[in-house]
Chain A
Amino acid sequence: MSDTTVLGGRAVRESLRTPDALIPTIFIPLFFPVVNTGRVSEIFRSDTTAFLQGRGYAAFQLPTSLLPAASFGSSALFLVEEIEGGYFDKLRAAPISRVSIVFGRLWSEGVKSLVLTALMVAVALPFGVRIAGGVTGFAVLLVLIALWAVVFSGFMQLVALKSRSAAATQAGSMVFFPLLFITPNFVPRDQLSPLMEIASSFNPVTYLMEAAGSLVLDPSFQWAVLGKGFAVVAVAMAVMVALTVRAINDYE
């Protein structure tokens, strides 16, 4: 555990020293919601659109900013660079649990995501976006998004460990597009085209987005929706951890 925190501290340092790696993490999450809101906020007016529950379309778009901001594989790119450069072997030769080499970065991704999510919610406040769930809702939202950030980074690090190639890892992070856009990010699921509705039902991120959305839009906690969101994260986390432990122990 202490190895993980020591290596996590290093990973935080590394992120802070590479601010340019944050540019896509900020740009894409701002781009889509701003454009989406700009295009349709006159159509989806809060007084005439039932799914907005009396709130603005910008609030509905908040999860569409938060999830992509938590879905970047920058930690995996650092990892693959470390593998290619040889520092990874140096760490593997140290008397530490090898899993901590990978989990240190995940820890830092979680922390980074907490900070980033809080900042993005703060940025949304002047646009009239409020978290309907209040302070508790905000806290739950932070945890949900941060856990997702850890899961997503974990899978990207797995690609890095298996491929040992920066190009493959970069390509792997592109799964983020289908994952985040085959979702009810534009309108709720029941208003999607039938094909899209089916496709999005198979996408785990759909349940995350709905859980995040309910925290933003609905002052009463929708336990069923939240439960599905957290269940998806928990299962994905378990799969990711199991695969990572195996990958790092078999690595040579």
Chain B
Amino acid sequence: MYSLWTSIYDRGQDLSCSTATLEESDHHPDQKETLMTLAVEATALAKRYRGKGGEVDAVRGIDPAIPAGSVFGFLGPNGAGKSTTVRMLTTLMTITSGSARVAGVDVAADPDGVRRRIGVALREAGLDPRQTGRELLRLQCRLYGLSAAEAVARTEELLRLVELEDAADRNVKGYSGGMKRRLDLASALVHRPEVLFLDEPTTGLDPASRLTIWEEVRRINEQGTTVFLTTQYLEEADQLCDDVAIIDDGLIVRQGSPAALKDELGRRRGDGIAPTLDDVFLDATGRSRARVAGDVQEVRA
């Protein structure tokens, strides 16, 4: 059987960044002594919003464990709690209960330590419209402690990486959605983070721009950065992620590699038809194809 950890484990070898460790299980009898580092680990992580309209339990106790060096996909229907989880892990929001460590650092105890080790690109591609791409990256470099000279060099490097050299001196206001996402991604990389958080990095992008972002994510990951991404696109998760977790109504309902999850569903159904990650998603969130497709009645016999 495809092991959850195999691909990640192999890549995890040359990573020395994180400090959290986990005893390797009996999946790898030959590698029993090796320790595996975790880039993100949480225990009973929960978030309760208190507002005028009452309380919302957006995240209700989740325990993700993400090996260093992997690409992790966080899936779930709208309002499931994906962004809330990302905002807690990136120190943007307080944790209601439970705990989380990112790159070996406790999020609640040392938020600044976490901020130094992570890169963040959120769904809105929040960028300052009145700066040029180049100015924005340089500022970002300075905020992460690079000297003025280092900032200049790193900015040029990143502009090349995300292919924005030609637009570098234009105000961000005039950028297309795809250009903004690429700039946002570059700005999350100024300090070569250990863990990169991407909240819906490709939502609203055309297929070509989406592929460009995928390539960037792979390249970043190959250089050793752990990637935590949320997405609405199951194909994206299937293509990019070593592991996925499906969250529904604040709880993780499935977790594993896309292949393992599809296998499991295929075996359970026993109808000989290979399920897609879509099927896994629908199965896990209790939504049937018949219900989702409505009149089309796209039910597999």
B144, CB-defined interface residue at 8 Å: yes
With A93-B90, A252-B93 known to touch, is A86 a contact of B126 (CB < 8 Å)? yes
Check if A90 is an interface residue, CB within 8 A of chain B: yes
Contact check, A91 vs B143: say whether CB atoms are below 8 A apart: yes
- Assembled-state Cα–Cα distance A85/B139 (Å): 18
Overall SS of chain A's interface: helix
Chain A residues with CB under 8 A of B278 = none
Does the CB pair B92–A10 fall under 8 Å? no
- Whether B143 and A89, one on each chain, are in contact in the complex, defined by CB atoms closer than 8 angstroms, is no
Given that A6-B142, A88-B126 are known contacts, is A93 also in contact with B92, CB under 8 Å in the complex?
A: yes
B124 sits at the interface (CB 8 A): yes
Q: Across the interface, do B126 and A90 meet the contact criterion of CB distance under 8 Å?
A: yes
A13 contact set on B, CB distance < 8 A = 130-131, 135
Which residues does chain B contribute within 8 Å of A228, judged by CB atoms? Answer: none
A86–B129 CA distance with the chains assembled, in angstroms:
11
Minimum distance in angstroms from A212 CB to a CB of chain B: 32
Which residues on A sit within 8 Å (CB–CB) of B122? 86, 89-90
CB proximity to A under 8 Å, residues B137-168: 139-140, 142-145
Contacts of A88 in B (CB 8 A): 126
Number of interface residues of A (CB under 8 A): 23
Interface pair B130/A14, CB less than 8 Å apart: yes
Any B CB within 8 A of the CB of A94: yes
User: Do A3 and B92 touch (CB < 8 A)?
Assistant: no
B94, B129, B135, B143: the one contacting A94 at CB < 8 Å is B143
Q: Which residue of B92, B118, B142 contacts A89 across the interface (Cβ within 8 Å)?
A: B92
Is residue A126 within 8 Å, beta carbon to beta carbon, of the partner chain?
no
A164 within 8 A of partner (CB): no
Pairwise interchain contact A87-B126, C-beta atoms closer than 8 A = yes
CB pair A17–B130 under 8 Å, yes or no, is yes
Interface residues of A (CB under 8 A from B): 2-3, 6-7, 10, 13-14, 17-18, 82, 85-96, 252
20 sample A-B contacts, Cβ–Cβ < 8 Å, listed by A number: A6-B143, A7-B139, A10-B131, A10-B135, A10-B139, A13-B135, A85-B128, A85-B129, A86-B122, A87-B127, A87-B128, A88-B126, A89-B92, A89-B126, A92-B91, A92-B92, A93-B90, A93-B91, A95-B145, A252-B92
Residues of chain B at the chain A interface (Cβ within 8 Å): 87, 90-94, 112, 115-116, 118, 120, 122-131, 135, 139-140, 142-145, 171, 184, 187
